[in-house]
Amino acid sequence: MTDSIHPDVKSILFSKEEIHEATLRIGKQISKDYQGEKVLLVTVLKGAFIFMADLARCIDGDVEVDFMAVSSYGAEAKSSGVVRILKDLNAPVEGRHVIIIEDILDSGLTLKYLLKNIKARGPLSIEIATLLFKEGKQQTRIDCKYIGLLCPDYFVVGYGLDYNERYRNLPYIGVLDESVYS
């Protein structure tokens, strides 16, 4: 993948350098907050897979990873509010420090569901790390301890984020051209 902009992308919102800086900042904070503790990174597939892979390498200390696949959007460009578990965690979370890793917090409906679901399994603690936080879009209050970048209300793709399963491999986060989804 080169740095040239994809023809379906109108503009680059966050460069790979900006994403790396934000990831490093969160990684350092997590390393400090969980010093001497083991932490389980629960990655929400598919969108968060690239962020988790980079974030895990920015954390000093004892880290385990596990994956959950959920779907909150269909082929639509907006949240449906309906969350389905497509793949559950392999590891038990009881008595463990859990950080849920997300690529984007938009309406917050996915995380509201996930928090309730994982809290019911009895973790020692649970926090959220999201790369992007869409400003003013939350339909529910979510306490998110680690936020990478504040994202204006555009349809964004790249660095794990898709539209119809495309563009996840872009190394930057860009604004999708309206002609692609209108």
Peptide bond into 78 cis (omega under 30): no
Helix 16-33 vs helix 49-56: angle between axes, to the nearest 10 degrees? 60
Q: Does 162 bind ligand PRP (CB under 6 A)?
A: yes
State the sign of the Cα–Cα–Cα–Cα dihedral 26, 145, 138, 48: positive
Q: Which of 24, 79, 147, 155 binds ligand PRP (CB under 6 A)?
A: 79
Q: Which of 108, 123, 148, 174 binds ligand PRP (CB under 6 A)?
A: 108
Say which of 106, 143, 153, 177 is annotated catalytic: 106
Taking Cα atoms as reference points, which of 39, 65, 44, 32 lies closest to residue 130?
44
Q: Which string of b and e fits 115-144 if b means at least 16 CB within 10 Å?
A: beebeeeebeebbbbbbbbbeebbeeebeb
117 is an interface residue for ligand PRP by CB under 6 A: no
Asked if residue 12 binds ligand PRP (CB under 6 A), the reply is no
Helices and strands in the chain, H and E counts: 4, 9
Options 19-27, 88-96, 103-111, 151-159: segment touching ligand PRP (CB under 6 A)? 103-111
Told to check if 68 binds ligand PRP by CB under 6 A, we report no
In contact, 159 and 103? CB cutoff 8 Å: yes
> Among 20-28, 87-95, 98-106, 171-179, which window interacts with ligand PRP (CB under 6 A)?
98-106
* 3-class DSSP state of 130: strand
Site track 16-55 with ligand PRP (rule: CB under 6 A), x = hit = ----------------------------xxxx--------
Q: Which residue from 26, 41, 50, 72 is in contact with ligand PRP, where contact means CB under 6 A?
A: 72
Active site includes 54?
Answer: no
Rounded to a whole number of angstroms, the minimum distance from the CB of residue 69 to ligand PRP is: 7
Smallest distance from ligand PRP to CB 37, Å: 26
Question: How many Å apart are CA 35 and CA 78, to the nearest integer?
Answer: 38
Q: Which two tokens stand for residue 112?
A: 């509201």
Supply the residues annotated as catalytic. Answer: 106
Applying CB under 6 A, the residues found at the interface with ligand PRP are 44-47, 71-73, 79, 102-110, 162
